[in-house]
Every structure is written in structure tokens, then in C-alpha cells.
Structure 1
Amino acid sequence: MGGDSSAVADQLQNVKEIQASQGAFAAICHDGTVVTWGSVAYGGNSSAVQAQLSQVQKIQATDFSFAAIRLDGSVVTWGAGQFGGFCEADLREVLHIQSTRSAFAAIRANGSVVTWGAAEEGGDSSAVQDKLHNVVHVQATGRGFAAILADSSVVTWGGGESASYNQYTCCLND
């Protein structure tokens, strides 16, 4: 479950950041490469995508998978496919990724949001996709997402089987 890094200890040099799933770790080295270890079931083995794990600037994790943003804005995913380890969507020009326990939400440079992973935990944003424009930030709980839009309104989705779409408008006092 990640507590023993002896198999990769020689690769854990010049590490600048570490991210964890529920049972594995992913470390970004200063040269932009990634080293993973821990349980395979939790994303501890990135060998299938290792050739793509260069020039990585940020990593985010669900409980079972990882998503790495590269310097060119592309995203590489690995781990349990149904929990975010696999994505068919266009993951280019990504600025930021947030995660619930089993899903990811990525903000693209144009302010749109791409989601993937477990549908009931935010991986399916189709009910709110027409509202997810000009997104400036996304935050997550264990099962749901909230996005702040440029007009200071908030759109939420996910949160379990009984979840519904909500949009709130906030006012800031000057």
C-alpha cells in the first residue's frame, strides 16, 4: 500500500512533489519524470504510460488512480479505469485538475470542464455541461464537485445517486 518504496528508492532523487491515492504514491522529480510505487490496484504501477510521463508539472489522485498534467497541458492517466484511470475525452490545454474519491474534473484553458471517472461521484457532468463555461476554479468533496464561474456563480454536480444540479449566484461586497 505504498509504505515500502525500496523497489524505487534509487529513483526517488530530486523529488519536488508527491501525490497519493488510497494505496499508492506518485512522485514528480525535478526533471519532470514520475516515479510510482504501492498497490497496483490503486495506481502504483504506471509502466503502461511511463513513456508519456515526462515534463509533468502536477499530479492529482482519486482513491484508485492518478492524472498528471504535462507542461504542454496534455494529461496522462493511469490506475483503475472506472475510477479515473482511463479517459477518452480530449485532455489538452488543461490548467488544473481536481478529484473526488473516484472521479476527476479538469479545467481547460478556454474555461470549459472535462470530467471522467465514476459517474455518481462527479465523473458525469452532462447534466450541468451547458453551465460549465468560464470556469475559474473547481473544488471537490469525496463525492461531488463545485465550480466557480467568472461571474462568481457556483455550479455543483455529483454527490451520489440522488444528486441533482444546482447553480448559485453570489455577490461580493466591495
Structure 2
Amino acid sequence: VVTWGDDAAGGDSSGVALLLTEGVIELFSNYKDFVALKADGSVVFWGDAGLWSHEGDIISVTGSGGAFAAIRQNGCVVTWGDDAEGGDSSEVAALLTEGVVHICGIEQAFAAIKADGSVVTWGQQNMGGDSSAVASLLTEGVVAIC
């Protein structure tokens, strides 16, 4: 992976460059960070929020405006980034421990569809993170989101 542009928005990946030399199968971004998903399930993160990597079991990554959500092999979700834009999923964490099959990221929130057809949302409440007004429609039978 070769990067360029604004250093504070992912243009400088020198701190993780050695991790980006092979095995990268997909890149994801939000408006200030990047994530590389590697063939072994590890991810490498760089940009405004710093640098880090996670070894192992990630199968999918989705970005919102300032955060990311990833699905692990066991269907559990891990989130990071700007708390107000979906990086903090602690309010719904118990619902994201298994069975998640797809995540859709929008400007400042996420929606996750589970294998049972239910949908879980989190992030900026007025930007899609609060689905309480339609909660009864999201408990089962949903086959696609976003």
C-alpha cells in the first residue's frame, strides 16, 4: 500500500508501512482514517486517530464518518474511532456479541443486520444511531440494509 496526501488524514502511513507490504486484500476509509484488511484476518489502522493493528479474525470492515466497525469470524462486532460517530458501541454491545452478518456505515452511525433478521443501530442518535421509532420493525425478517 502506498499513501499520500494530508498526513493527519491517512496520507502518512510510515508508522505502519512494514505491515502494509503484503497480504492486503481490501482498504476501507472514513473521512480521516484508513484500515487495511489482510488475508490473514488482521487489520492495520492509520490516520487522524493514530496507528495500530489487530491480529487475527476480522472478516469485514465498514466505516462511518469518523469511526469503523468490524465483524469478527464469530459474528461479534468490534468498533473504534470517534465515540459520537459509532466508535463507541457500548450501549448495544450485548446485542453485537454474535450473529452479525453485515454492517452498514453512514455519516455518523452504523446499522448491523444479524443472522436472525434483526437490526441493531448505534452512533449519533439523530443521524441514524437511534432506531427506537421503528424498533418493532427491526426485530426479525430484515434481509438487507443500506
Q: Is TM (by shorter chain) over 0.5?
A: yes
Match of 1:44?
Answer: 11
- Which consecutive unaligned segments of at least 5 residues does structure 2 have? none
- Which consecutive unaligned segments of at least 5 residues does structure 1 have? 1-33
Match of 1:122?
Answer: 86
1:170 deviates by 3.4
Alignment of 1:138-157 (within 5 A): 138-157=103-122
The structure number with the bigger radius of gyration is 1
Match of 1:21?
Answer: none
Distance 1:109 1:92, change over 3 A: same
Distance 1:106 1:120, change over 3 A: same
Of 61, 68, 79, which residue of structure 1 is paired with 2:47?
A: 79
1:165 deviates by 6.7
When the two structures are aligned, how many residues end up with a matched partner? 136
How many Å separate the matches in 2 of 1:123 and 1:38?
Answer: 24
The root-mean-square deviation of aligned C-alpha atoms, in Å, is: 2.2
Q: Secondary structure at the match of 2:84?
A: helix
Identity of aligned residues (%): 44
Alignment of 1:54-69 (within 5 A): 54-69=22-37
Higher RCO (C-alpha 8 Å, min separation 6): 2
How many Å separate the matches in 1 of 2:52 and 2:70?
Answer: 11
How many Å separate the matches in 2 of 1:93 and 1:100?
Answer: 21
1:62 deviates by 1.1
How many Å separate the matches in 2 of 1:120 and 1:137?
Answer: 21
1:140 deviates by 1.1
Of 55, 66, 70, which residue of structure 2 is paired with 1:102?
A: 66
Please tell me whether the aligned partners of residues 138 and 146 of structure 1 are also in contact (alpha carbons under 8 angstroms).
yes
TM-score when normalising by structure 1: 0.71
Which deviates more, 156-165 or 44-53? Answer: 156-165
Structure 2 letter corresponding to 1:62? N
TM-score when normalising by structure 2: 0.84
Alignment of 1:149-168 (within 5 A): 149-160=114-125, 164=130, 166=132, 168=138
In proportion to residue count, which structure has more helix?
A: 2
